């Protein structure tokens, strides 16, 4: 397996270039003036572009010692031979099967989205993938998998006025 040989600054410049092109495209999106809407369609792409540009700047100005320490630990980790019994990402040894499991999980999420609603489908997806990946703190998993979709649902429906499927939930 070959190592990644670009410096973090080179990657940051490439990401910043992509972010600038993305922002240029986001500023060319037409405004929606036919109906009074609280948020214009170009707001989210512009915010994502600025976020990506900020993250690229943070990566560019990251201290070189941190990046060298990370590559040094990676180099020592790659020098040791990998155990043949070492398990990969989740619970299966074959990475193709791992990808198939996540593809099936994403398809189930899409299938349950309209029936179970945004909150329940997203909570089930987050909790099941965290369990499958072996995250040991189940209380944190449950709290996270319920809080994040609920906050996103309230923010989207109340804040932005976007109708998401509610499923059997009364709100």
Helix (H) or strand (E) segment spanning residue 86: none
Q: Which of 112, 103, 110 is nearest to 132 (CA)?
A: 103
The CA-based angle 78-80-85, given to 5 degrees, is 100
Q: 105 falls in which pLDDT band (50, 70, 90)?
A: very high
Top pLDDT among 32 and 86 is at: 32
> Is 73 in the same domain as 105?
no
The reply to whether 70 falls in a domain is: yes
Give yes or no for residue 84 having a pLDDT over 90.
no
Number of domains in the chain: 2
Q: 168 falls in which pLDDT band (50, 70, 90)?
A: confident
pTM of the model: 0.54
The reply to whether 87 falls in a domain is: no
- Is the sign of the CA dihedral 102, 104, 109, 110 positive or negative? positive
> Rounded mean pLDDT of 28-55?
83
Top pLDDT among 119 and 70 is at: 119
- List the domain range (segments joined by +) for residue 54: 8-79
Q: 3 falls in which pLDDT band (50, 70, 90)?
A: low
Give yes or no for residue 87 having a pLDDT over 50.
no
Which residue has tokens 């990251």?
62
Top pLDDT among 63 and 55 is at: 55
> Is 45 in the same domain as 70?
yes
The reply to whether 119 falls in a domain is: yes
Give yes or no for residue 138 having a pLDDT over 90.
no
């Amino acid at each position: 397996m070959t190592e990644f040989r670009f410096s973090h600054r080179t990657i940051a410049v490439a990401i910043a270039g992509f972010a600038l092109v993305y922002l240029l495209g986001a500023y060319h999106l037409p405004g929606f003036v036919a109906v009074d809407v609280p948020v214009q369609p170009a707001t989210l792409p512009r915010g994502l572009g600025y976020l990506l540009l900020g993250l690229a700047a943070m990566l560019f100005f990251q201290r070189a010692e941190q990046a060298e320490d990370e590559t040094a630990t990676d180099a020592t980790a790659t020098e040791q031979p990998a155990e043949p019994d070492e398990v990969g990402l989740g619970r299966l040894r074959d990475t193709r099967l791992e990808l198939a499991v996540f593809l099936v999980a994403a398809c189930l999420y899409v299938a349950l989205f309209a029936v179970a609603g945004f909150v329940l489908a997203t909570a089930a997806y987050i909790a099941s993938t965290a369990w499958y990946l072996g995250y040991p703190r189940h209380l944190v998993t449950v709290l996270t998998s319920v809080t994040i979709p609920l906050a996103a649902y309230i923010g989207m429906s109340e804040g932005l006025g976007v109708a998401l499927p509610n499923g059997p939930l009364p709100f």
